[in-house]
Chain A
Amino acid sequence: MTASALLSVEGVAVDLATPRGNLRAVDHVDLAIGAGRTLGIVGESGCGKTMLSRAILQLLPKKAKLSGRVMFDGQNLASLDREALRKLRGRSLAVVFQDPMTSLNPVLTIGTQLIETLQEHLELDGPAARKRSVELLAAVGIPAPEQRLTQYPHQLSGGMRQRVAIAIALSCEPKLLIADEPTTALDVTIQAQILDLLAREQRRRHMAMILITHDLGVVAGRTDEVAVMYAGRVVERAPTPDLFKKMRMPYTEALLAALPKIDAAPHTPLPAISGRPPDPTRPIAGCSFSPRCRYADDRCKREKPPLAAPESPDHQYACFHPIHAEARVRA
């Protein structure tokens, strides 16, 4: 991990106690993100991407056991007390969830929620906080921001609520914004607007951003780097152009190939990935993807491939039989 990283996740593992036994949701993940950079984390449901974001935010469920270290802005987050964490989360470490109602209070007006945040974290007085709130709502594309201050979340559409949640997240000029499936619950045209908004604010504020999604299409044009997760582990991590063009991990290839292509003729059969992700309460000895992988052999079933960067230091993958770019089946 580089010394200049704003956030570094070092050997983080999350274990959850379930009635069926221990579930390792996140399995020794190392990641880093520098100031002003964007990282996409991509994976399917159950791959651990959300648990990883909760681990970074120190917002894990009570039953979860966290190991490893999360360093943010020079501080070990595990060493902070509740009060210090609360201050940090409102201020320099912000989050936007899939469902904006996770972070919005249904019984308070939009104005109260924004103004309170600003007064609490930036110690602005009432009129200054109010003025700033109107500016923020306008910046995230909310029409008639003055009027919105008096409205409650339920009076807004899903897209507008997500804009408000983003305005609150941005209100204290965070150094890092974690956006966890911020557009999954929204309609296609609104999704594009919200992603554009996040990208614009990220650049304008020179803020670092982690964009967590199940959709490779969402991260393609919007991140500097992408980490692909499968069964709790990062299985490939590379600068975004390399991940799409020089992918080494068969899972990344399969995930991309399984997406319906807008330029393919109708009724073109999709190269589906057979089977389904492993049961996380029954870990697999070898590579977790091996039961579904067309390149897998005996070694893959016995031995877990380490995440390594044998060719170039910024392209890591966990595979004994990486795809060669020239031999890659074109999606």
Chain B
Amino acid sequence: MLDVTQTKTPLLDVQNLVVEYSVGGRTIHAVSDVSLQVARGETLGLVGESGCGKSTLGRAVLQLRKAVSGHVLFDGQDLTAMQGEALRKMRRRVQLIFQDPIASLNPRRRIGDIIAEPLVISGVKDPEKRKQLVSDVLTAVGLDPALVTGRLPHEFSGGQFQRICIARALVLNPDFVICDEPVSALDVSIRAQILNLLEEMKARYGLTLLFIAHDLAVVKAVSDRVAVMYLGRLCEVGPSEQLFAHPAHPYTALLIEAIPVPDPDVRPAERVPAGEPPSPMAPPSGCRFRTRCPRADARCAAEVPELRAVAPQQFVACHHPLIEAA
């Protein structure tokens, strides 16, 4: 097993995970043999375009989607082998924040109840204690408990509501939070507030984060390391600064080049049209990016590239990477 964090016991250790599901009798290869580790206290960014399997991977970590094969070790224990009460106990330590906060919660329940629900489920029986915990966590995310707990979801704006969702995810004091596109539905000015809040909460609650997003600039702003996925496979993993300054995978380079730069002197590159991703129902043989890759040759069609080191802590799955190991 390739240990990409080079730590002895990562908090999350995903090993050769394969997730497939069928739609209309055809198989979608959503996550194909992905291995990655997240060290305690670290933020790992996971980027890729729609359909690359990044959200499915997040859900498979939580066992909300069953893996065909592979393992998800959390704090040394294999979640894929757990069931019932044991799995529920572990899940308290791993929480999920969604892209569309309004759609993710019951519109007819009051905010106080929505946030207290995980406490009820996990057996905090004393209502006064629950009330105190809800009040503490709301204050932590920058909301006034007195003004918020009695109100209904529709009374809040998207940004406030994402604060509420973050409060709900944190009320059980988890170790690990999976943020699935937490800011992509928010406006620029609100997005910055929520990103800053996630960073504050990470420090305050000692969290480890898996931050899933399609926006590279957003991912870079919060992540220690970044993993890039394409059509179900991991292309590249590396420290954020290194990966952005020296991308090794042609797909990572394409993603970076596609970011709109708010500078009028940077004329958008007249790039070679790089096509569109093929269907995850029939992924290309060998390297899945080869149909859009300027560097692809016969070997890329024949052989699946294995993840290998090109720089300290930087790993790439490519036969013809943009940088080579020294």
- Which residues of chain B (14-34) have a CB below 8 Å from chain A? none
Which residues between 21 and 50 of chain A lie within 8 Å of chain B, taking CB atoms? 44-45
A interface residues, how many (CB within 8 angstroms): 50
**B198 nearest CB across to chain A (Å):** 11
CB distance from A266 to the nearest CB of B (A): 5
Cβ contacts under 8 Å, B222 to chain A = 266-267
The reply to whether B224 and A266 contact each other, CB–CB distance below 8 Å, is yes
Which residues of the other chain, A, contact B223 by a CB distance below 8 angstroms? 266
Contact call B259/A217, Cβ cutoff below 8 A: yes
A187 sits at the interface (CB 8 A): yes
- Beta-carbon nearest neighbor of A192 in chain B: B258
Given A141-B273, A259-B188, CB of A189 within 8 Å of CB of B220: no
Q: Which of A214, A221, A240 has the most CB of B within 10 A?
A: A221
Q: What is the chain B residue whose CB lies nearest that of A274?
A: B193
A244 & B255 in contact (Cβ 8 Å cutoff): no
| Contact yes or no, A269 B199, CB < 8 A | yes
Asked if A190 CB lies within 8 Å of chain B CBs, one says: yes
Q: Are A214 and B220 in contact (CB under 8 A)?
A: no
Contact B189 A255 (CB under 8 A): yes
Interface membership of B86, Cβ < 8 A? no
CB-CB under 8 A for A44 and B189, given A188-B49, A262-B259: yes
Q: Counting CB contacts under 8 A, is A160 at the interface?
A: yes
A214 and B267 contact, Cβ closer than 8 Å, known pairs A244-B262, A270-B221: no
- Indicate which residue in B216, B244, B271, B276 contacts A188 across the interface (CB closer than 8 Å): B216
Contacts of A266 in B (CB 8 A): 220-224, 240-241
Q: Is A188 in contact with B258, judged by CB distance below 8 angstroms? A: yes
A192-B271, A266-B224 are known contacts. Are A218 and B260 too (CB-CB below 8 A)?
yes
B157 close to A (CB within 8 Å):
yes
A220 and B266 within 8 A (CB): yes
By the criterion CB–CB under 8 Å, are B49 and A187 in contact? yes
Q: In the complex the two chains form, is A262's CB within 8 Å of B217's CB?
A: yes
Given the known A-B contacts A222-B268, A265-B241, A276-B190, are A260 and B217 also in contact in the complex, defined by CB atoms under 8 Å? Answer: yes
Contact of B258 (CB < 8 Å), options: A189, A222, A240: A189
Interface centre among A141, A222, A271, A276 (most CB of B within 10 A): A276
Residues of A within 8 A of B190 (CB): 44, 276
- Give the contacting residue for A189; candidates B157, B188, B189, B255; CB below 8 A: B255
Q: Is the CB of A45 within 8 A of B216?
A: no
A271 touches B159 (CB 8 A): no
Q: Is B218's beta carbon under 8 Å from chain A?
A: yes
Interface residues of B in 225-262 (CB under 8 A from A): 240-241, 244, 254-262
Cβ contact within 8 Å between A260 and B276: no
Q: Which of A157, A243, A266, A270 has the most CB of B within 10 A?
A: A266
With A and B bound together, what is the CA distance between A197 and B27 in angstroms?
34
Residues of B contacting A218 in the complex (Cβ-Cβ under 8 angstroms): 260
Q: Cβ of B270 < 8 Å from any Cβ of A?
A: yes
Residues of A within 8 A of B221 (CB): 260-261, 264, 266-268, 270
In the docked arrangement, what's the CA distance between A220 and B244, Å? 21
What is the minimal beta-carbon distance from B189 to any residue of chain A, in angstroms?
4
Tell me which of A45, A189, A221, A258 contacts B264 (CB under 8 A). Answer: A221
Interchain CB contact under 8 A, A189 and B224: no
Q: Are B264 and A272 in contact (CB under 8 A)?
A: no
Q: Which residues of A contact B188 (CB under 8 A)?
A: 44, 214-216, 255, 258-259
- B residues in contact with A276, CB < 8 Å: 157, 159-160, 189-190
Most buried by B among A160, A190, A199, A264: A190
- Contact present for A272 and B189 (CB under 8 Å): yes
Bound-state Cα–Cα, A243 to B258, Å: 22
B274 touches A259 (CB 8 A): no
What 0/1 pattern do residues 254 to 295 of B give for CB contact below 8 A with A? 111111111111111011011011000000000000000000
Most buried by B among A189, A195, A255: A189
Query: Cβ of A260: which chain B residues have Cβ within 8 Å of it?
Result: 192, 195, 215, 217-218, 220-221
Residue interface bits A258-294, CB-to-B below 8 A is 1, else 0: 1111101111111111101000000000000000100
User: Does A58 touch B at the CB level, under 8 Å?
Assistant: no
Closest chain-B Cβ to A183's Cβ sits at a distance in Å of 9
- Map CB proximity to B onto A290-306 as digits: 1 under 8 Å, 0 otherwise: 00100000000000000
Q: Bound state CA distance, A157 and B224, in angstroms?
A: 33
B261, A214: Cβ atoms under 8 Å? no
Nearest Cβ distance between residue B266 and chain A, in whole angstroms? Answer: 6
* Interface residue B196 (Cβ < 8 Å from any Cβ of A): yes
A241 and B265 alpha carbons, distance in the complex (Å): 8
Among B195, B214, B264, B268, the residue within 8 A (CB) of A244 is B264
Q: Is the CB of A259 within 8 A of B217?
A: yes
CB–CB A261/B189 < 8 A: no
Q: Which 7 A-B pairs have CB atoms at the shortest separation, nearest pair first?
A: A217-B260, A272-B192, A187-B49, A273-B189, A192-B258, A260-B221, A44-B187
Q: Can you pick out 22 interface pairs between chain A and chain B where the beta carbons lie within 8 Å of each other? A: A157-B276, A187-B214, A188-B214, A188-B215, A188-B258, A189-B254, A192-B257, A195-B268, A214-B187, A220-B260, A220-B262, A243-B264, A262-B244, A262-B256, A262-B261, A267-B199, A267-B222, A267-B224, A270-B221, A272-B196, A273-B193, A276-B189
A sample of 12 more A-B contacts (CB under 8 A), given A141-B273, A255-B189, A272-B196, is A187-B277, A188-B214, A196-B268, A220-B260, A221-B267, A222-B268, A241-B265, A255-B188, A261-B217, A267-B221, A269-B196, A276-B159
* Interface set of B (CB-CB < 8 Å, partner A): 49-50, 157, 159-160, 187-193, 195-196, 199, 214-218, 220-224, 240-241, 244, 254-268, 270-271, 273-274, 276-277
Chain A contact residues, CB within 8 Å of chain B: 44-45, 141, 157, 159-160, 187-193, 195-196, 199, 214-218, 220-222, 240-241, 243-245, 254-256, 258-262, 264-274, 276, 292
